[in-house]
Amino acid sequence: MKIPGLGPKRRAALEAVGIKNLGDLLYYYPGRYIDRSKRVDIKDAGSFGEERVTVRGVVDKARGEYWGRAKFRVTIKDDSGVLDAIWYMPSMKIAAGETLSLTGKVINTNGKLLMIHPTLEKITDKTDFKPVIAVYSIKESMRESSISQNLLRKSIEWALKNTGSYPRVLPDSIEKKHNFPPLDECLRNIHLPGELSSLDKYKERLKYEELYRLALNLRWNKKKFALPGYAMKAGELDAKLRGLLPFSLTQSQEDAVKILYDDAAKSERMHRLLQGDVGSGKTVTALMAALPALNSGRQVAWMAPTEVLAKQTKSVVEKYLGQLGHRVEYLGAGDMSEKRHIYRDLASGQLRVVVGTHALFMPSVKFSNLGMIIIDEQHKFGAGQRLKLQEKGPASDFLLMSATPIPQTLAKTLYGDLDIVEIKSRPNRVSISTHIVPDSKRADMEKFIFDQVSAGNRVFYVVPRIDQHADDFDDDDGEKSANGSTKKSPPKTTVGSGRSQTSSKASAHKSPTKNVSADDSDKGVSISTVDDAVEKLMSGPLSSIPIHKLHGQMSYDEREAAITAFRSGPPGVLVATTIVEVGVDITDATVMVIESPEFFGLAQLHQIRGRVGRGDRPSYCFLLPGAGQNEHTAERLKFLCGCSDGFEIAEWDLRSRGPGDTAGHRQSGWDDLRAADILEDAGMFREILREIDGIFAK
């Protein structure tokens, strides 16, 4: 792939996020659009309220301002008036005398007009100004290689002009039935729309084609799992494990275990989804489900999406299976030399149980006699990734687990290739008192937190983002530093007990947001970050207590150190991203604070809330929404405050979800999808499944 402006370093950065050829680039859809069609004179720009407008003017002044939070301010003029624009960064390559086009919301304060973080384009005689522009997800590796929005737009435009033929996925009969536009026309208009009002017909074709591919994979997968498997029984291991447990299983767990044992005893392969609410006891239930394979002399592979969760799962599995005489190993990131003995023992059959992360996908991981595959938090993996592990044990049983419940009727559509078992009830756990905290009550909340920590309790403080640069839909033009290159994020620091650690390691962000919609937010301005939260806490009444930091850009060792310090050190606060959503089990954590909860789906908020209330102490969750929330957001949060049932939350979320309230933060479990959203487009998916079933029946 030789595209102008993309040298070896930039091509490597694109390959790191899955863009390896022209097709991948063309299917890298925009996350949103910026409508610049409403151009007004500066004097009128302040009268449009929340509506975005575009102004054009000549730069009168451009300067950095370093008091308080560093920012760069530009003053532009046209024949009608003057307007200021600010960006929260120390420098930009903008000079007096240049002509700029700025798009954004205008704040009118006593006649002074201001835009915050507007979309910027320099205007010259050669500028091809487009009324609508696409905004793409810029991942960390792309940003570090100076791949900006402008460069990505130009690269995709070049690819559209130079691609000669496009793959055929949909049969002619389906294209004609739905009157779909040609694929090349759809891709061109998704990336380079003339107007937003005409996008729907192009999106429809791309969604349908994507879901059609998925449905084909599911149906082939179901046929594959109809093949013979192993007939296995737990035998005496069941009673032995129960004798080690410090509790009795709930009736709901018992029902699930019976179903899983019955599956294991059949000569067909088990292919199950185990759904359960936060804290319902899925891990122990899955551990019981692994016993038939172990009793039959076969191996068990247990995969989790993060090192944190995988390590914690390993400790639980080892605690019980170790007493039954089974060695348990962990396979994740680390030195290859440390893994060789694990590879060898798995291949020979000496090692019977392994818990790991994505490392289990690797071709070098081979099993002697794999009998059970368990995938925890399965929605964090794409369908293709799940298949890779399945292929390592062609006759093995297969159990997926999810703590993000989906109603049965919808689950049967989304997981058409799976049988479903649910754990409805939960062991007796303390209730979590959930409250919405307005800004005026923040000081009271911080005093409450101080009292909780002083009493020996620990506090989670969750924010949506690591730092402002972590907004991978940031609309930059590649000219944010003095020399014209996009500036990298500064090294991150881990704060705790007066010490700090520095890390520059980065982890991949999530895949591009699935909704292809017009821009409808200013999230880049108002969203809370780890750095913001730490700064606030350390400058307020909590400054005397330990404050730790945890996020995905820290190395594994740094994350382990932060969690260990929080869990075992003096009581304090852990400021983190959603990395703590699963796998951090601390029984004396009693308070969960969630900043900017409007940026999370209800199911995810419920999952995050479930990190507290795991001991016998009263527990609390405080939601701190940003300013200017709409009625729907307020209604969602109010509902969450009064409901603790994950299945009921899932049902309510599905009933209340409106068009465009989509998948950037929803955990639908289909990370392979880019254009479609499996929840919003469930009706289309059901139609496609019927079409394909008709084809398979012939």
Report helix, strand or coil for 328: strand
Radius of gyration of the chain (CA): 27
- From 391, 423, 455, the end of a domain falls on 423
Task: Tell me the whole-structure pTM to 2 decimals.
Answer: 0.63
Domain identity same for 262 and 293:
yes
Tell me if residue 87 falls in helix, strand or coil. Answer: strand
pLDDT, tens digit, 9 for 90 and up, residues 83-117: 999 998 888 999 999 999 999 999 988 889 999 99
Point out the least confidently predicted range of 2-11, 307-316, 345-354, 424-433: 424-433
Picking from 423, 444, 478, the residue at the C-terminal end of a domain is: 423
Which residues, in sequence order, are CB contacts of 568 under 8 Å at separation 6+? none
**CATH number (domain holding residue 106):** 2.40.50.140
User: Which CATH number do you get for residue 352?
Assistant: 3.40.50.300
Q: Are residues 53 and 103 in the same domain?
A: yes
Q: Are 114 and 178 contained in the same domain?
A: no
Number of domains in the chain: 4
Interior angle at CA 98, CA 96 and CA 102, nearest 5: 110
Report pLDDT for 231.
95
CA angle 459, 468, 380 (to 5 degrees): 65
What are the start-end ranges of the H helices in 235-324?
237-244, 251-265, 282-295, 307-321
Cα distance between residue 608 and residue 361, in whole Å: 27
Same domain assignment for residues 405 and 443: no
Please state the rounded mean pLDDT for residues 609-614: 89
pLDDT the model gives residue 382: 59
**What percent of the chain stands above pLDDT 70?**
82
Cα 192–Cα 181–Cα 687 angle in degrees, nearest 5:
115
Tell me how far apart the alpha carbons of residues 497 and 572 are, in angstroms, rounded to a whole number: 9
- 271 with 395, same domain? yes
pLDDT tens-place string over residues 223-251 = 666 678 899 999 999 999 999 999 899 99
Clarify whether residues 347 and 253 are in a common domain: yes
Rounded distance, CA 110 to CA 686, Å? 55
Residue showing tokens 């067909």: 268
Would you state the pLDDT for residue 585?
79
Q: Check pLDDT > 90 for residue 553.
A: no
Average pLDDT, the chain: 82
Instruction: Check residue 486 and give its pLDDT.
Output: 37
Each residue of 69-78: pLDDT tens digit? 789 999 999 9
Which pairing describes strands 82-87 and 112-116: parallel, antiparallel, or unpaired?
parallel
Residue 668 has pLDDT above 60, yes or no: no
Do 301 and 441 lie in one domain? The reply is no
Domain limits for position 413: 237-423
Task: Specify if 583 maps to a domain.
Answer: yes
How many Cα atoms within 13 Å fall on the side-chain side of residue 156?
Answer: 28
What does DSSP assign to residue 488? Answer: P
Question: Does some domain include residue 253?
Answer: yes
Instruction: Evaluate whether residue 46 is within a structural domain.
Output: yes
Q: 279 or 255, which is more confident?
A: 255
In the prediction, which pLDDT does 497 show? 34
Please give the pLDDT value at position 667. 35
Q: Is residue 11 part of a domain?
A: no
Residues 125 and 182 in one domain: no
Query: How buried is 66 (Cβ within 10 angstroms: 0-12 exposed, 13-18 middle, 19+ buried)?
Result: exposed
Residue 537 and residue 448 in one domain:
yes
In this structure, the answer to whether residues 610 and 489 fall within a common structural domain is yes
pLDDT, tens digit (0-9, with 9 covering 90-100), for 566-581: 999 999 999 998 888 7
Least confident range from 442-446, 498-502, 536-540: namely 498-502
Q: In terms of domains, do 380 and 460 share one?
A: no
Residue 153 lies in a domain: no
Q: What single letter denotes the amino acid at residue 487?
A: K
Q: Are residues 120 and 258 in the same domain?
A: no
Cα 138 → chain centroid:
15
Residue 694, in any domain of the structure: no
Residue 633 phi/psi, 5° resolution? -65, -45
Q: Quick check: is 401 in a domain?
A: yes
In a domain, 692, yes or no: no
Q: Which residue among 129, 154, 180 closes a domain?
A: 129
